[in-house]
A and B are shown apart, each in its own frame.
Chain A
Amino acid sequence: MTPEENFMRKIENEEKIEPKDWMPDEYRKNLIRQISQHAHSEVIGMQPEGNWITRAPSLRRKAVLLSKVQDEAGHGLYLYSACETLGISRSEMIEQLQSGKAKYSSIFNYPTLTWADVGAIGWLVDGAAIVNQVSLQRTSYGPYSRGMIRICKEESFHQRQGYEAILALAKGSEGQKAMAQDALNRFYWPALMMFGPHDSESAHSAKSMTWKIKRETNDDLRQKFVDQTVKQIEVLGLEHPDKNIKWNEERGHYDSSDLNWDEFWSVINGNGHCNRQRIEHHVAAHDEGEWVRDAITAYNEKKRAKSAQNAA
């Protein structure tokens, strides 16, 4: 059996690929692209919500939001570490993010204008991420799969706190309800775009499915999200942003409007409201942290020198 055949045998038998196994170059590249993009999304995703930490409406909401954003930093770390097992370094990944060579989810290029947006993000954005991540628990690469399992355990809290926050507004005063509706209207469509282009337009989809990096197609995952969200909007007593949403008995799914793909590509290609701000903020935070990294290295060197001296 050639290494390639052995690799495909494992994939077909639902066995995971582990870091030291032989794997095709393209498989490795595909994984590095997807996992690093996922890691960058977790990290950049802290910004739109972080924007509201100091202005949360109560101490309780503030503590919850802080915990949630802290989790996202942790998710970034799990994913960067999983990606490093493929032979790319952390600094290479950060360089690719900052230079624009690597992407992150375009949803984080939308601004958070009101407190209701924080609720909408937890509910819809984390909700969409969960649909995707549940599916990725079965991805063929071991470290990625284990990372997803860990992350999924933490995500449920994210979605529930978001829904709880927006529910409070939806059941509140007229003004609060309008704020919730507005947040839903703005975040619903970009949340659907998180699943990526139609399968027919997706550059990496076919190969990723054969290699079981992805287990379900963009359109199937999006449909799941559309279906589960209908009831959630109803319970809030808000209006569904999609006027064409309609149960299709035959398909057993909701039919819905097609998305504004021009907007999708435009945001991906750098023209969203916040693309520049997000990267600038990341660069600034990274540069401001330089002295901490330097201090750690200096301290380690000092310790090493000391123990070498003691040994001599």
Chain B
Amino acid sequence: MTNITEKLELFEVFVRSKRGLDHKHVGSLHAEDHEQALEYARDCYTRRSEGVSIWVVKSSDICSSQEDDADCFYDPSDDKPYRHATYYVLPDPVNNM
């Protein structure tokens, strides 16, 4: 017997909890298509009005960097402390800028 979830697509769910905020990843679910995924997401993730807007995206459409590659991916930033405001030492009376 094949597992039904193998026949369904995996979707990632993003919920905007309040107008003005970013959509935030909350989890994933299996569904047949986008419409269905949206309804399932509503039932699964916003039963207590957790959101005002939901995005569903096919997991296979998400291209992500690998954490194992993090070193060489982000390493070029590590030797640039001057990109941070705290790097600059200013006299006290004007240090609030």
Chain A residues with a Cβ under 8 A of chain B: 10, 15-18, 60, 63-64, 67, 71, 127, 142, 145-146, 156-157, 159-161, 163-164, 167, 228, 231-232, 234-235
Contact = CB atoms under 8 A, between A and B. Distances in A.
A231 B16 CA distance: 42
A160 B19 contact: no
Contacts of A234: 93
Contacts of A142: 19-20
Contacts of B89: 164
A159 B20 contact: no
B29 to A, nearest CB: 22
Given A15-B19, A146-B22, A163 B94 contact: yes
B85 A157 contact: yes
B20 to A, nearest CB: 3
Given A67-B82, A157-B85, A232-B97, A167 B90 contact: yes
Contacts of B87: 157, 160
8 contacts: A18-B16, A142-B20, A157-B83, A159-B97, A161-B88, A163-B90, A167-B90, A231-B93
A60 B82 contact: yes
Main secondary structure, interface of B, reads loop
A160 B53 contact: no
Contacts of A10: 19
B16 to A, nearest CB: 8
A235 B85 contact: no
Interface of B: 16, 19-20, 22, 53, 80, 82-85, 87-91, 93-94, 97
B22 to A, nearest CB: 6
Contacts, number: 57
Contacts of B91: 167, 235
Contacts of B19: 10, 15-18, 142
Contacts of B82: 60, 63-64, 67, 157, 161
A163 B97 contact: yes
Contacts of A231: 93-94
A156 B90 CA distance: 12
Contact of B94 (A18, A71, A235): A235
A136 to B, nearest CB: 13
Given A160-B85, A161-B88, A63 B80 contact: yes
Given A10-B19, A63-B82, A142-B20, 11 more contacts: A18-B16, A146-B20, A146-B22, A157-B83, A157-B87, A157-B88, A160-B85, A164-B90, A167-B90, A167-B91, A235-B93
Taking each of A63, A160, A232, which has the highest tally of chain B beta carbons within 10 Å of its own beta carbon?
A: A160
Nearest to A140: B20
Contact of B83 (A67, A127, A159): A67
A10 B16 CA distance: 16
B15 to A, nearest CB: 13
A18 B23 CA distance: 12
Given A163-B94, A235-B91, A157 B84 contact: yes
Given A160-B90, A163-B94, A164-B90, A15 B83 contact: no
A119 B68 CA distance: 40
Nearest to A70: B83
A262 B13 CA distance: 55
Nearest to A67: B83
A163 B94 CA distance: 9
